[in-house]
Amino acid sequence: MSVKGVPPANLSGISRPGRGSVVVKPKNMKGTLVRLWMLTKGKRNGLWIILLLAALGSGSAILSPYITGKVVTMISSGNAIAGILLCLTALYIGDWLIKFLQQFLIASIGQNVIYYIRKTLFDKVITLPLAFFDRRQHGELMSRLTNDVDNISITISNSLTLLLTHGFTITGILIVMICLSPMLTLISLTGVVLIFLLTKTVTSRTRKLFAAQQKALGVLNGHIEESISGLFVIKAFCREEQMEREFDEINSELCKVATKALIWSGYLMPLMNVINNLCYLAIAVCSGIMFVNGLITDLGIITSFLLYVRQFTRPFVEIANIYNNFQTAVAGAERVFEILDEQPEPEDKPNAHSLQNPRGDIEMNHVWFGYSPEKTVLKDITLKIPAGTRVAIVGPTGSGKTTIINLLTRFYDVTDGSIMLDGHDLRDYKLRDLRDVFGVVLQDTALFADSVKENICYGHENASMEQIIEAARIAGADGFIARLPKEYDTVLEQGGMELSQGERQLLTIARAMLANAPIMILDEATSSVDTVTEQKIRQAILHICKNRTSFIIAHRLSTIRDSDLIIMIENGEITEQGTHDELMALNGKYALMYRTQIGQHDARMVS
């Protein structure tokens, strides 16, 4: 989801390489490059061959003007030129072959390196604790896995080769030019200085304009997203004209800023061509004067030098663009390393217990917890829950209900106190064994773009078809599955969006049934479904919780009336606990909430 004013297509802030893009400068280029080099150790075999080919590839640009000058000298002297023309042809063919091999190798090595970086990053992401994802937007993390890695890929595949080739070319041409005529070389360097100053002046302006363009584009994208996602409300309140006027204003602003940016960036190449041509003219005039005065006696030198001038300034411009892309890629690498530096989930203790056949006795002893030091969510929670107890947790939004579930599954660890399972602290168990103990059904159904069958047996791939069908039957999902085009082999698209919310929830309950975990957690499993589907889910919940320790979080109190224990939480503290009848007799907050819901329900029925 994009936020108005922020470009949704580029949440990372890293723009694609190219002229006119916003350059993101790295914080520590040297340190990042060294670390990137060490990270890819063993994955860049053959890079020295690319370096050699880059040096050889620059040979054509260095030698061809010199050989062409020799051709002119031989013609002016009346000598045969067939042999040297043959050498020049061979040089060009060799140059093509070298560039082909260079591109082939860099594509192979570059993609191998990027494959390794992306795999390393993804492997790291799946080890990170839930707290890491709670602190970040998912779109921003996706950007690091895609945009930032792609920027590194483009730099390795394209920019690195060009940078090496241009570097060798400039060095070689400069050496040859100095050998041919130091005076003419000095004039040529004056043109390079003028191009550098021009580039710096123009880019300092265009960088701000393109940044403004990107910001305006983000505002426009945010407006479009709001308009499309809220189209029903817009039409219901007859706000089409207002939205259209706002769109025109934002679009006009974007058009104005983009026009200025393109005009300024358009100045660069024509002005550079003028400087190049003036430099070429100055070299031609000066070399002609020197030839007339006898300072140069060979026409071939003048010819070579004029060709060198044409080739000498061009690589500087390309290197400037490559350097900008290089900075962007290194900044992307820094963002990748930020994730790689994150602390993974805590490792198991050296003497961690295996968890076999747990009974399901849960005990919370003076548990305190906060997602940040400034804000305490749970305050001195103490509970003792015997195995097989069906526990319901109720309370207002933000009171800490889901936080208790996060602590039980060790997505987070308690700040103070302890949670015991079968007499041992949760932190004393192997984390994988502990997670296997819990079967979880969440409010937000997590289904994957796979078949219904694969979604039900997710995490239990060895389950037989009979077990899958039985789990679906108990969950009450077999009825609608039978109506699907390919029944259990029907592939769900986009997280099962073609199913209703209730049908998706029944599939997640079937998945939990198949897991057959000794402790069940159901977090708002009926919050987004109709009354009829709620009853189906309630029956499935009763079946799934039978003879198991279970925790049910619900706002609809009618679904948890028959729980063995109901806990009322407010502001992170347990204010009431007992059975439904006991709490109703207490006539406290729970009783008030329950009577209010029943009253609302009756009111709806009357209307």
Residues 138 and 191 in one domain: no
Residue 486 lies in a domain: no
Residues 155 and 36 in one domain: yes
Residue 414 lies in a domain: yes
Residues 421 and 375 in one domain: yes
Kindly state the average pLDDT of the residues 221-234. Answer: 78
Residue 388 lies in a domain: yes
Q: What is the reported pLDDT for 591?
A: 85
What count of other Cβ atoms lies within 10 Å of the Cβ of residue 51?
15
With 80 as the cut, is the pLDDT of residue 551 above it?
yes
| Contact criterion met (CB below 8 Å) for 87 and 66 | no
Q: Tens digit of pLDDT for each residue in 448-496?
A: 777 888 888 877 777 788 888 888 887 777 878 888 888 888 887 766 6
Residues 191 and 141 in one domain: no
Kindly state the average pLDDT of the residues 190-194. Answer: 82
With 50 as the cut, is the pLDDT of residue 425 above it?
yes
Kindly state the average pLDDT of the residues 266-280. Answer: 79
pLDDT band at 3; cut points 50, 70, 90: very low
Give ∠ CA 16-17-19 in degrees, rounded to 5.
Answer: 115
pLDDT band at 40; cut points 50, 70, 90: confident
Residues 287 and 432 in one domain: no
For residue 339, give its domain range. Answer: 26-180+326-344
d(CA 205, CA 201): 7
Q: What is the reported pLDDT for 332?
A: 74
pLDDT band at 12; cut points 50, 70, 90: very low
Residue 503 lies in a domain: no
With 80 as the cut, is the pLDDT of residue 353 above it?
no
Kindly state the average pLDDT of the residues 225-247. Answer: 80
The total domain count for the chain is 3
Q: What is the reported pLDDT for 80?
A: 65
Kindly state the average pLDDT of the residues 91-114. Answer: 79
CATH number of the domain residue 35 falls in: 1.20.1560.10
Greater pLDDT, 525 or 221: 221
Residues 275 and 417 in one domain: no
Residues 65 and 176 in one domain: yes
Classify residue 471 by burial, with Cβ atoms within 10 Å: 0-12, 13-18, 19+. buried
d(CA 195, CA 147): 32
With 50 as the cut, is the pLDDT of residue 524 above it?
yes
Residue 262 lies in a domain: yes
In Å, what is the CA distance from 175 to each residue of 63, 92, 178, 180?
A: 12, 21, 5, 9
pLDDT band at 17; cut points 50, 70, 90: very low
Please list, in sequence order, all residues whose beta carbon lies within 8 angstroms of the beta carbon of residue 213, skipping any fewer than 6 positions away.
254, 257, 258, 261
Greater pLDDT, 577 or 42: 577
Q: Which long-range CB contacts under 8 A does 373-376 form with residues at least 24 apart?
A: 376/415, 376/572
Question: Lowest-confidence range among 88-102, 193-207, 464-478, 532-546?
Answer: 532-546
The mean pLDDT value of the chain amounts to 77
Residue 49 lies in a domain: yes
Residues 545 and 400 in one domain: yes
Residue 581 lies in a domain: yes
* Token duo for residue 58: 């620059």
Please list, in sequence order, all residues whose beta carbon lies within 8 angstroms of the beta carbon of residue 54, skipping any fewer than 6 positions away.
102, 161, 164, 165, 168
Q: What is the reported pLDDT for 393?
A: 87
Kindly state the average pLDDT of the residues 506-522. Answer: 80
Residues 134 and 30 in one domain: yes
Q: What is the reported pLDDT for 8?
A: 34
Residues 440 and 532 in one domain: yes
CATH number of the domain residue 427 falls in: 3.40.50.300
Helix (H) or strand (E) run with residue 34 in it: helix 29-39
Residues 248 and 330 in one domain: no
| pTM (global) more than 0.75 | no
* Burial state string for 268-289 with b = 16 or more CB within 10 A and e = fewer than 16: beebbeebbeebbebbeebbee
Q: What is the reported pLDDT for 179?
A: 85
Residue type at 111? Q
d(CA 154, CA 111): 10
Q: Which of 519, 553, 356, 545 is nearest to 442 (CA)?
A: 553
Residue 479 lies in a domain: no
Counting residues of the chain whose pLDDT is more than 70, the rounded percentage is: 86
Residues 163 and 227 in one domain: no
* Helices of type H across 483-548: 501-515, 531-544
Classify residue 215 by burial, with Cβ atoms within 10 Å: 0-12, 13-18, 19+. middle
